[in-house]
Amino acid sequence: MIKVEFTIEPFEMGEAPERVTRAVAAIEAMGISVEIGAFGSAFTTDSAQAGPAISALLAAAYAHGATHVTIGTEAVK
């Protein structure tokens, strides 16, 4: 399993902007649950889905105004 942590900028306090909600929706449309945090979010998926999920995340975020996306990954059991 791969845990993917991500932040989407520019960061705004309050309600999540469309660049974040659309990115989360793209991941969840793949059947992957996303944990939304105050300063970043994460999901865990199998290695076969990690690449396509990250690709969907990036495409949706940048299509809706992201200027920077930080992604970190780690293998988890």
DSSP secondary structure, the chain, as one string: -EEEEEEEES--SSSPPHHHHHHHHHHHTTT--EEE-SS-EEEEE-HHHHHHHHHHHHHHHHHTT-SEEEEEEEE--
Model confidence over 29-72: pLDDT tens digits?
999 999 998 788 999 999 999 999 999 999 999 999 999 999 99
Which sign does the torsion angle of CA 16, 32, 23, 1 carry? positive
Q: How much is the pTM?
A: 0.91
Least confident of 1-10, 19-28, 36-45, 54-63: 36-45
Give the pLDDT score at 12.
73
Give the pLDDT score at 65.
96
